[in-house]
């Protein structure tokens, strides 16, 4: 195709970005190539904006990487049956792995490559944040591509859309809604892991990257209340601000990429509907976000079109994922045959069981609270939009922000067991609530009317209509919460606050101790492997069959 292309801002933007990246890289490189000597962070509040900027940059880089890779992987899995057979199971295993636990291994790897320089630590942090953002994006891309209306895909083929044009006209627009929805989840995850990823400890060695997360963590650990509150304020203001000024306008813009909704109610309540009434948000959408979005689609399409031109890359990439998994398993094996078994290994089964009870409790409580809450939300037609917006913003506050609160509760003596479950709930609960509320809103109006006509009210309505209607989504939410719960265990069973260690017996605590205190890689590997095995086992033997049965019986067919 030798046609003249119209001038495009995306190329200029790309160039500016490249130049900027080189400048920043040179600047960082100068300070980074020395061996890294974990300094304490300067606690002056005036530096907070700078720290915030550092953290945002890490999140943004990780996010762009995650989106790019998700597009490539998701598209590949949707297009080629061969790639699908490799990619989907790998993603499935990797996403059920508690990422936090793998962090020490990744840090070791990157710091090794970069000979202990700050660049290695920086890469390790970005990598951790990336892994927290990637899986749901990739699944989202895959799912929206396989559910693409068949005739639309045919039409794209028949009218000759290939390469870049296929990306910009068909694939990218089709995945925008799911990408955006999942971006909210990914960023929430990213903020959550930021705290963990800016202070990196491997055994006795400790590396601190300047950032909001490390600032907050340091303030909590040392017990400086004033700074803790300040950092929390900045964190909350940033997440809320991003919702209002970035995600909101993006969602309004993305309305046009939705396939037509059948039925007389919007399928999901979108924060966009509420935000869309704001003049500022509408202006932002029109003048900044929409043009930028279009440019992004055009630029990404060009890049991805080039990538897609050689199928070889796709095949290589599809092989890379499971291959790296194999290498990891092999390394683990080597770790165990090379040394005598550590005595701590014997305690792992009991640790696992204790943590399992905590996670299960978290799932049950989340479900028990979500159902009546979603019912109340769905019934109140007047406040539902506003209420959902408030809830979404609340949910975007990373659970780690609740750390200090929990510490206060601990000082009052609620006990570490309750504190750990409570802290885990701050992440688990939202997954269940969002899924259930979404399904509750989607109950067809006609079904409500029919129920009313038949005299189903109150508890009978709840039992005969509401619960069956939200059941598939409830299960989906529970599965996600279950996964998040294990991650939370790593964070919650072992806390350092005000120069004191609070801990409770469990697999998370064992893993943390092995990582931060003893540096015993055998225990790290064994607790991780056993955790992953348990998670996968329960997913396969409990969640999968339950979900399949529920989805079959209670699917809403319009």
Partner 1 sequence: MASPASVAAPAALLRLEGVEQFYGQKIRILGPIDLEMREAEFLSLVGPSGCGKSTLLRIVAGVLTPTVGTVRMGGRPLKDVNTRAAMVFQSFALFPWLKVVDNVAVGLESRGLPPRERLKKAQKYIDLVGLSGYERAYPRELSRGMKQLVGLARALAVEPELLCMDEPFSALDVLTARTMRELVLDLWASPVVMTKSILLVTHSIEEAVAMSDRVVVLKANPGRIADEVDLRGLPRPRRPDLPQVRETVDRMYALLA
Binding footprint of partner 1 on the chain (CB under 8 A): 1-4, 6, 149, 151-152, 154-155, 157-162, 165, 169-170, 173, 176, 256-260
Phi, psi for residue 494 in degrees, rounded to 5 = -145, 110
Closest CA to 367 of 270, 443, 439: 439
Please state the closest distance from residue 172 (CB atom) to partner 1, in A: 9
Q: Which is nearer to partner 1, 25 or 149 (CB)?
A: 149
**Taking the mean position of all CA atoms in its chain, how far away is CA 128?**
11
Angle separating helix axes 521-538 and 99-113, nearest 10 degrees: 140
**Residue 206: is it exposed, middle or buried by C-beta count within 10 angstroms (0-12/13-18/19+)?**
exposed
Longest alpha-carbon distance in the chain:
75
Q: Least Å distance between CB 204 and partner 1?
A: 55
Nearer to partner 1, 158 or 338 (CB): 158
Q: Least Å distance between CB 76 and partner 1?
A: 21
Q: How far is the CB of 296 from partner 1 (least distance, A)?
A: 14
Name the residue nearer to partner 1 (CB basis): 149 or 334.
149
CB of 286 to partner 1, least distance (A): 15
The CB density around residue 171, as the number of other CB atoms within 10 Å, is 27
CB of 68 vs partner 1, minimal distance in Å: 21
Q: Are 148 and 79 in contact (CB under 8 A)?
A: no
Task: Please spell the DSSP secondary structure of 251-282, one letter per residue.
Answer: HHHHGGGSPPPPSSS-SS--HHHHHTT-HHHH
- CB of residue 122 vs partner 1: minimum separation in angstroms? 37
Nearer to partner 1, 103 or 257 (CB): 257
CB atoms within 10 A of CB 418: 15
The rounded distance, in Å, linking the Cα atoms of 434 and 392 is 8
Q: Quick check: helix, strand or coil at residue 352?
A: helix
Cβ closer to partner 1: 258 or 331? 258
**Least distance between partner 1 and beta carbon 165 (Å):** 5
Q: Residue by residue, what is the 3-state secondary structure of 135-188?
A: HHHHHHHHHHHHCCCHHHHHHHHHCCCCHHHHHHHHHHHHHHHHHHHHHHHHHH
What single DSSP character describes residue 541? I
For partner 1, give the closer residue by CB, 191 or 257.
257
CA distance 537 to 99: 17
Nearer to partner 1, 267 or 379 (CB): 267
Closest contact distance (angstroms) between CB of 158 and partner 1 is 5
Q: Which of 168, 426 has the CB closer to partner 1?
A: 168
Identify which of residues 99 and 172 has a Cβ nearer to partner 1 in the complex.
172
Residue whose CB is less far from partner 1, 176 or 185: 176
Counting other chains too, the contacts that 326-329 makes at CB distance below 8 Å and 24 or more residues apart are 328/105
Minimum separation from the CB atom of position 118 to partner 1 (A):
43
Q: How far apart are CA 246 and CA 285, in angstroms?
A: 9
Dihedral sign (CA 553, 258, 165, 314)? negative
């Amino acid at each position: 195709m030798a046609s003249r292309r119209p001038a495009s801002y995306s190329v200029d933007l790309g160039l500016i970005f490249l130049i900027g990246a080189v400048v920043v890289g040179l600047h960082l490189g100068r300070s980074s190539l020395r061996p890294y000597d974990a300094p304490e962070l300067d606690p002056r509040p005036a530096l907070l904006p700078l720290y915030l900027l550092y953290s945002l940059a890490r999140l943004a880089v990780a996010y762009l990487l995650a989106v790019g890779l998700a597009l490539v992987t998701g598209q590949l899995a949707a297009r080629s049956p061969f790639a699908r057979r490799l990619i989907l199971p790998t993603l499935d295993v990797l996403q059920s792995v508690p990422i936090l636990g793998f962090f020490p291994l990744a840090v070791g790897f990157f710091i090794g490559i970069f000979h202990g320089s700050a660049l290695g630590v920086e890469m390790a942090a970005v990598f951790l944040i990336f892994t927290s953002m990637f899986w749901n994006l990739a699944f989202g891309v895959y799912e929206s591509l396989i559910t693409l209306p068949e005739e639309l895909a045919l039409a794209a083929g028949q009218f000759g859309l290939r390469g870049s044009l296929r990306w910009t006209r068909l694939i990218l627009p089709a995945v925008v809604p799911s990408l955006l929805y999942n971006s909210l989840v990914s960023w929430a995850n990213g903020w959550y892991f930021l705290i963990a990823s800016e202070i990196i400890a491997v055994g006795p060695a400790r590396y601190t990257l300047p950032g909001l997360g490390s600032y907050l963590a340091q303030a909590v650990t040392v017990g400086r209340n004033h700074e803790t509150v300040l950092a929390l304020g900045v964190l909350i203001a940033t997440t809320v601000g991003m919702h209002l000024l970035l995600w909101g306008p993006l969602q309004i813009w993305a309305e046009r990429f939705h396939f037509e909704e059948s039925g007389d109610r919007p399928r999901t309540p979108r924060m966009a509907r509420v935000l869309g009434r704001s003049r500022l948000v509408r202006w932002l959408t029109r003048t900044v976000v929409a043009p930028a979005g279009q440019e992004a689609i055009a630029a990404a399409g060009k890049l991805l079109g080039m990538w897609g031109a050689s199928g070889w890359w796709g095949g290589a990439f599809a092989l890379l994922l499971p291959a790296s998994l194999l290498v990891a398993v092999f390394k683990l094996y080597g770790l165990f045959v090379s040394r005598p078994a550590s005595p701590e290994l014997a305690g792992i089964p009991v640790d696992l069981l204790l943590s399992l009870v905590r996670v299960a409790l978290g799932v049950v409580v989340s479900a028990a609270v979500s159902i009546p809450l979603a019912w109340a939300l769905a019934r109140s037609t007047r406040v539902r939009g506003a209420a959902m917006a408030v809830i979404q913003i609340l949910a975007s506050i990373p659970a780690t922000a609740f750390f200090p609160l929990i510490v206060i509760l601990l000082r009052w003596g609620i006990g570490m067991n309750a504190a750990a479950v409570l802290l885990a709930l701050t992440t688990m609960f939202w997954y269940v609530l969002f899924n259930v509320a979404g399904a509750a809103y989607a109950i067809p109006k006609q079904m409500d009317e029919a129920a009313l006509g038949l005299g189903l009210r109150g508890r009978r309505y709840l039992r005969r209509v509401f619960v069956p209607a939200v059941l598939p989504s409830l299960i989906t939410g529970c599965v996600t919460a279950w996964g998040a719960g294990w991650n939370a265990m790593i964070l919650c069973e072992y806390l350092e606050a005000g120069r004191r260690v609070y801990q409770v017996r469990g697999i998370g605590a064992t893993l943390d101790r092995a990582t931060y205190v003893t540096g015993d890689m055998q225990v790290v590997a064994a607790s991780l492997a056993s955790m992953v095995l348990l998670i996968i086992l329960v997913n396969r033997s409990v969640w999968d069959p339950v979900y399949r049965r529920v989805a079959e019986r209670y699917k809403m067919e319009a």
